[in-house]
Amino acid sequence: MKTDLVRILDGNIFVLSDGSGDIVAKPGVPAGYFSFDTRFLSLWRLTINGERVSTLAMDDPSYFEVRFFLVPGAPTHYVDAKVSVIRERTVAGSFEERLTVLNHSEEWAEFTVRVDADADFSSLHMVEREHPPCGRLYQRVENGRLHLGYEREKYHRETQISTTEPAQVDEQGLTYHIRIEPHGQWITTLHVRGLVLRPDGQDIRERLSPRCRQRDTAGLQDDLRQWLDRAPQLSCDWKPLERTYRRALVDLAALRFSPLTLPTEPLPAAGLPWDATLTGRDPILTSLQVLPFTPDLAVNTLRMLGLDQGSVLDDFRDEEPGKILREFRYGEMVAFEERPQGPYFGAADSTPLFVILLDEYERWTGDAAVVREFEDEARAALHWIDEYGDIMGDGYVWYQRRNERTGLENQCWKETTNSISFRDGRLPGLPRATCELQGYAYDAKVRGARLAREFWHDPAYADRLEREAAELKERFNRDFWISDGEYYALALDGDGRQVDALSSNIGHLLWSGIVEESRAPKIAEHLLGPRLFSGWGVRTLAQAEGRYNPLGYHVGTVWPFDNSFIAWGLRRYGFHQEAGRIAEGIIDASRYFQGRLPEAFGGYDRELTRHPVQYPAANSPQALATGASLLLVRTLLGLEPYGDDLVVAPALPERFGRIELLDIPGRWGRVDAIGSVRSPEANAVGS
């Protein structure tokens, strides 16, 4: 994917264009106006008197709006330009563009303004894999509007384009013949709606969640202001942390959306552009990251995923009773079951993570009602771990897809086919039991036991879960430990052999608590050693492993989200300095991405490249990367709920100086946390 595309978004509705604002779709490049997994514009091109426009400057004051300052023709025309154009674009439930043409001459001037428009209605799957549509495309002009449409049996999508100024509308776009007075201007506003049509011609979203209906920029601006006002206020001597914290809060606001099928409160879409949809793993982990800052996302995530929890055995969707979904999409390939994502359950980690989030949410908020509300869903998730997750009957969580044709082969967070490998690069057979899945299962059982004892009034069930967790921990530390390398195996293969590559997965074991105390120092040493730690962060796969590639998606890149959980786990086991090194590296890297941490970046040694190298196909913004800086703040300040109080135990690298986090919400009301390199003692003040 091109990394220089200009993007604006409102949840899973977004526009990606070139630097002039033009949209010209090309194979594999997600330029366009997208809404709910469908590209409603694949061409949107502006010309003045037949000339393409060039960019003088660009301004993006908010995540949902952007302004382009343009002139017709090539850069040589910039000297004493007689005409310029301001292109103001917003996305707020739909796509709106205001064009202002300015005449800079001392005489009346005539111009022909043309906007070419087209739509291919490709789903994101089709864009990514260059899959042609199978239905009928149409164009028609009706009542001064351009209608671009697509039909395939009962599947019907349509783009409607209207304008506030008179235009000659044809099936390929709109033409304006205008005359502007000396030093005058001409303005029109184009409105583009992407419709998901029922057989009766009505947009199905009209009867659904208010967030799916038409909104305006004033409402979005007010919503963003309230969102930022509710979040804790952060100040830090090292300004990059302040910048990435603010950027993270804004991007979290931008990614919020409500799925079509369930009118819940919004939760974060996974990332732009490829994963601008509902997923299971991503909103759960993001909600964990941001609990101290915006706890409402957690309960929204629990409610949405609980409502769509698996209930039957369905091989096509990899669905099993109690299982939490992997993703839910709306595009054409899903509608005709050419892809299983409507919903798809091919993730082995989302289900134990659901229980972990439920418990952590209560620890922070004291909201016992939510724990009781989701008792059945949590019990079903815990049952899934033993009944369906334990494919081999040995007490571990394994995965093997039921859907052999279009299901995911790897069903952990590292989903690419080459991500789970032996040290020499060989791929293991299936089923597979990756190490972090065992950590999540252990943590889910420990936390489930607390919920059962304190809220569900089922001490026998709590005792059973605690016993199973203890047995799992003992068994795991026996079977996954690689003695000659002194680290945990990446996975076990179907024959029970250790998949012995050294990877970042071992860091997730720390925050789950499954690591034996005596082995934690060696794990910390590996994580901060030269093979895994690049100087910016922990690589997904260690240097010298058979499949290591510093630009390999899951086999050598650095993922900010991955590092945030690793740092959190290091703090849990008392490795404050090591956690601080990771936090400092990731926040330092954010300076090279304008404060917006990408999904992943290159795993090159810092000394080699001197700055982090962009991963070309990374989602940005991505919910998990956005949450990374917030979890790192929690880690640096040592924020942990303890009963009805918030414990603050700061441990800051010298570079951060002093951090103040004010108005942290939780069961304690609102408290402030202050950490300083010069005065490392904890400071917490109620408010």
Residue range 15-50, pLDDT digits in tens = 999 999 999 998 878 899 999 889 999 999 999 999
Residue 203 has pLDDT above 90, yes or no: no
Q: Give residues with Cβ within 8 angstroms of 644, minimum separation 6.
A: 366, 667, 668
Helix or strand holding residue 327 (H, E): strand 327-328
Q: What is the pLDDT of residue 258?
A: 83
Angular region, 216: left φ>0, alpha ψ -120 to 50, beta rest: beta
Checking if the pLDDT of 449 tops 90, the result is yes
Dist. CA 639–CA 628, nearest whole Å: 15
Q: What is the pLDDT of residues 567-614, one digit of tens each?
A: 999 999 999 999 999 999 999 999 999 999 999 999 999 999 999 999
Is the Cβ–Cβ distance between 510 and 570 less than 8 Å?
yes
Mean pLDDT within 366-378: 98
Query: Where in 250-399 does DSSP place strands (E)?
Result: 256-257, 267-268, 278-279, 327-328
Whether the link from the prior residue into 75 is cis, omega within 30° of 0, is no
- Provide the residue type at 223 as one letter: D
Average pLDDT of the residues of the chain: 94
- In this model, does residue 301 exceed pLDDT 50? yes
Check if the beta carbon of residue 324 is closer than 8 Å to that of residue 383: no
At residue 687 the predicted structure's pLDDT band, cuts being 50, 70 and 90, is very low
Single-letter amino acid code for the residue at 217? T
Q: Which amino acid is at 310?
A: G
Q: Residue 676 pLDDT > 80, yes or no?
A: yes
What is the predicted pLDDT for the residue at 28? 77
DSSP 203: B
Name 26's bridge partners.
29
Q: What is the pLDDT of residue 201?
A: 82
**Distant-in-sequence, close-in-space partners of 328: CB < 8 Å, separation ≥ 6:** 259, 261, 277, 278, 279, 308, 341, 342, 343, 344
Q: Which two tokens stand for residue 404?
A: 């052999």
What is the average per-residue pLDDT within 389-415?
97
pLDDT band for position 168 (50/70/90)?
very high
pLDDT at 686: 47
Please, what sign has the CA dihedral across residues 45, 48, 50, 54? negative
The pLDDT value recorded for residue 79 is 59
How much is the pLDDT for 262? 63
207, pLDDT greater than 70: no
State residue 2's pLDDT score. Answer: 45
Give residue 384's pLDDT band: very low, low, confident or very high (50, 70, 90).
Answer: very high
Average pLDDT of span 106-133: 88
pLDDT for res 124: 82
Locus of tokens 């490049």: 29
| Per-residue pLDDT tens over the stretch 222-235 | 999 999 999 999 99
Is pLDDT at 169 greater than 70 in this prediction? yes
Confidence check: pLDDT of 473 > 90: yes
For residue 166, the SS3 value is: coil
Ordered alpha helix ranges (H), 331-392:
332-335, 350-365, 368-373, 375-387
Instruction: Judge residue 414's burial from the number of C-beta atoms within 10 Å of its C-beta, 0-12 exposed, 13-18 middle, 19 or more buried.
Output: buried
Residue 504 CA to residue 486 CA, distance in Å, equals: 14
